[in-house]
A = this chain, B = another copy of it.
Amino acid sequence: MQFSFSSRYRITPTSFLDELFRVSRDPSIISFAGGLPDTDLIDLDGIRDATAAVLEEEGRAALQYTTTDGYLPLRECIARRYQERLGIPAVPEEIQIVNGSQQCLDIMGKIFISRGSHIGMEAPGYLGAIDAFSLYEPIIHTVPIIEGGPDPDRFEKLIHNHPLSFFYGIPNCQNPSGTTYSDERRRHLAEILTGSGCAFFEDDAFGELFFDGKPRLPMKHYLLDQTILSGSFSKIIAPGLRIGWIYAPVPVLERFNHAKQAADLHSNLLSQMILVRYLQSNSLDLHIKRITAVYKEKCRLICDHLDALGLTHTEPEGGMFLMATLPEGTSSMQLFKEGVKAGVAILPGIPFYPHGGGEDTIRINFSSPSTEEINLGMERLKKAFRAL
């Protein structure tokens, strides 16, 4: 049977991704290539108690269909946190629950991108965003990440020369580079965007994970009605519950809601209720402090190892990733292959550049491996370098 697939689906996946997938399942390989939060830091007791309370108190209602927008008490919790933590006047009516913030990327693509629409993003940029947007066949423009965020001159030219539907970026602890936009850069980008007709799609998966615990004002603060902001419980509570959200102006949210309904009716209700109960019974701030203290240590340890290897690298202020630059003439793809032979996986920078680049960079995840795994993995990486 020869199936008639849509034009967007005639691409076949690369063998590199298959290999990466195989490697990520091999327990003998220490992986810096993934993007998992530290399993040991998931508050199992807290979630177990919350789950029992929900099934006790809500009963069958927790297992029935619900509305597409999401469980109102959860949307209220999210709005309140924006108000209290960042001073942003969020209301539940502007918030929609999704299956982790990855779903925001797909639905934003669906409602903003026709074939040939122009969109912008960072280079390097989040691989999951490139994947999600590409299926709607846009023309993707990129702006390089430099010190303090996207290059403002290149950004300004892009906004003036092309009718972008949106610019997608991760201002806090970016995936993959670990860069955080400076406050000044945020203001500057907001000035450029004002009156331009280009929305800013702000992915804030990591904004709660600053090592110093201090929140940074999001682009949403500078461009309230022009910014679509996404967030997630995956990195601060538990990814397996698959709950994130979008916080967007009402005209966007109406379309988003329609697309979400067509996509899967609504997100898991039991998980939404568990999260509300968890947030009522536990201090999220204290829990996050525990997570960031561990991540700060692991990040420091990896940076020390990379320094010892003589590699330059970004210095993340938080999040889960950093990026290292290889010595001239070293191929990240070759290093990946040698690494796998030595029992360690790193992620070449290449897939983070939709138009090529990143041959001499690697992304390193510091949240998932334990201290012991970091030490052993970095030894193996040294061996891989020597083999090159």
| Chain A positions near chain B (C-beta within 8 angstroms) | 1-9, 13, 35-37, 39-40, 42, 44, 47-48, 51-52, 55, 59-66, 98-100, 102-103, 105-106, 110-115, 117, 128, 131-132, 135-136, 163-166, 197-199, 225-226, 234, 238-242, 249, 251-252, 254-255, 258-259, 261-271
Contact of A98 among B128, B259, B264 (CB under 8 A): B264
Contact of A240 among B35, B255, B269 (CB under 8 A): B269
Q: Give A5 to B115 CA distance when docked, in angstroms.
A: 12
Contact of A264 among B3, B51, B102, B259 (CB under 8 A): B102
Q: Give A48 to B63 CA distance when docked, in angstroms.
A: 11
Are B3 and A199 in contact, CB atoms less than 8 angstroms apart? yes
Chain B residues near A6 (CB, 8 Å)?
A: 110-114, 117, 136, 165
Q: How far is the CB of A94 from chain B (nearest CB, A)?
A: 14
Q: A65-B240, A99-B264, A131-B262 are in contact. Are A7 and B114 (CB under 8 A)?
A: yes
Are B106 and A263 in contact, CB atoms less than 8 angstroms apart? yes
Are A268 and B242 in contact, CB atoms less than 8 angstroms apart? yes
Q: How far is the CB of A12 from chain B (nearest CB, A)?
A: 8
Are B64 and A3 in contact, CB atoms less than 8 angstroms apart? no
Chain B residues near A42 (CB, 8 Å)?
A: 60, 63-64
Additional 6 contacts, C-beta under 8 A, given A6-B114, A63-B239, A63-B241? A1-B199, A3-B249, A4-B197, A51-B51, A115-B115, A242-B269
Q: Give A100 to B242 CA distance when docked, in angstroms.
A: 14
Are B135 and A262 in contact, CB atoms less than 8 angstroms apart? yes
Are B110 and A135 in contact, CB atoms less than 8 angstroms apart? yes
Chain B residues near A267 (CB, 8 Å)?
A: 99, 242
Q: Give A249 to B131 CA distance when docked, in angstroms.
A: 23
Q: How far is the CB of A224 from chain B (nearest CB, A)?
A: 10
> Which residue on chain B has the smallest CB distance to residue A251?
B3
Q: How far is the CB of A139 from chain B (nearest CB, A)?
A: 13
Chain B residues near A64 (CB, 8 Å)?
A: 36-37, 39, 42, 238-240
Query: Which of A44, A62, A242 has most B Cβ within 10 Å?
Result: A242
Are A9 and B255 in contact, CB atoms less than 8 angstroms apart? yes
Are B36 and A4 in contact, CB atoms less than 8 angstroms apart? no
Chain B residues near A106 (CB, 8 Å)?
A: 262-264
Are B111 and A63 in contact, CB atoms less than 8 angstroms apart? no
Query: Which of A42, A60, A240 has most B Cβ within 10 Å?
Result: A240
Are A102 and B263 in contact, CB atoms less than 8 angstroms apart? yes
Cross-chain pairs A/B with CB under 8 angstroms, 19 sampled? A5-B112, A6-B113, A6-B117, A6-B136, A9-B111, A36-B65, A62-B240, A63-B241, A64-B239, A64-B240, A65-B234, A65-B240, A99-B99, A132-B263, A240-B269, A242-B265, A242-B266, A242-B267, A270-B271
